[in-house]
Each structure stands twice: as C-alpha cells, then as structure tokens.
Amino acid sequence: MGFFDTYGQPAAIKADKKLETGEMLANGIDQQEKLLNDEEVLNAKGETIRSWFRDGRFMPTIGIFGLFDGKGHQFKKGNEKDMLSAFKKAYEAGEFDSFIKVVDKKRSENTAKLLEARKKIGTTSKKLK
C-alpha cells in the first residue's frame, strides 16, 4: 500500500483564524483563572504567561495592549480570584465594550504598520540584489 493510499491526497492548509479582540480577552480571562489555580499556562513560544496581578496592580491585557491603556487597579493580596470573577462578569455584561473597541482599533493600526514595514523590507531587499 502506498503513501497516498494510506494518508490520502494532500489538501490545502488554511491559516488559523485570528481571534477577535473580545475573544482574546475571554481567552485571557480563562488563562488568568488557570494561573490563579496554580496551573501552568504557556504562550505560543512555550514560556509561562504573565499574571495580570503583579506589583500590587491588576492590569488586564489583550495581546500586547493594556485594556485600560496602561492603567491598573490596586488589589489586596488574596483577593485576586474574587476580583477576576467580578471582572469576568463585567466583561460578559458588556461593561468593557468601549475599551475593547479602542484596543481593536490599536490592533488594526498596528497590523497596518507591520504590513507597511514588511513592504518596505521587501522593496529594500530587491534593491540589494
């Protein structure tokens, strides 16, 4: 029996769907809950993700962007689970929709900048040949 008989014909591989900004936040909340339950959570590079609770401040992020534009909330040690639970309920109720829209715009602008930079790199490499 040949390879194609066993594994079939090759098929086009589609790129993974990029998450929407709100989906990223929901995923981040899930990851933070795992961290607070002493589970190891790794990023795509295999590194442990950072807690949103550090240095006495709660600073939720969506990708590389802070949800509250670099601002945070103070919290008392031992209150992290309650605070994250309240945060999750507020997210589900739509309280952060305006903040998510701001981050979504920043993500779009950042993507556009990256694409433009890649175009310039492509132009530069052609000139070097």
* Confidence at 121, pLDDT banded by 50, 70, 90: confident
Q: 114 lies in a domain?
A: yes
In angstroms, the CA 34 to CA 47 distance is: 15
Q: 9 lies in a domain?
A: no
| Residue 15 burial (C-beta neighbours within 10 Å; 0-12, 13-18, 19+) | exposed
Predicted confidence at residue 19, as pLDDT, reads 86
Residue with tokens 């992290």: 80
Give yes or no for residue 125 having a pLDDT over 70: no
| Element holding 109 (H helix, E strand) | helix 97-128
Write out the residue range of the structural domain in which residue 73 sits. Answer: 17-128
Q: 12 lies in a domain?
A: no
pLDDT in tens, 22-38: 999 999 999 999 999 99
Predicted confidence at residue 4, as pLDDT, reads 78
- DSSP letters spanning 40-108: --B-TTSPBPPPSEETTEE--EETTEETTTT--EE--TT-HHHHHHHHHHHHHTTTTHHHHHHHHHHHH
Q: 116 lies in a domain?
A: yes
**Total number of domains constituting the chain:** 1
Higher pLDDT, 67 or 123: 67
Give yes or no for residue 44 having a pLDDT over 70: yes
| Mean pLDDT to the nearest integer, 59-72 | 93
Q: Which amino acid is at 92?
A: E
Predicted confidence at residue 26, as pLDDT, reads 96
Q: 82 lies in a domain?
A: yes
Q: 27 lies in a domain?
A: yes
Q: 5 lies in a domain?
A: no
In angstroms, the CA 22 to CA 60 distance is: 13
Predicted confidence at residue 62, as pLDDT, reads 94
Predicted confidence at residue 1, as pLDDT, reads 72
| Mean pLDDT to the nearest integer, 64-91 | 94
* Confidence at 15, pLDDT banded by 50, 70, 90: low
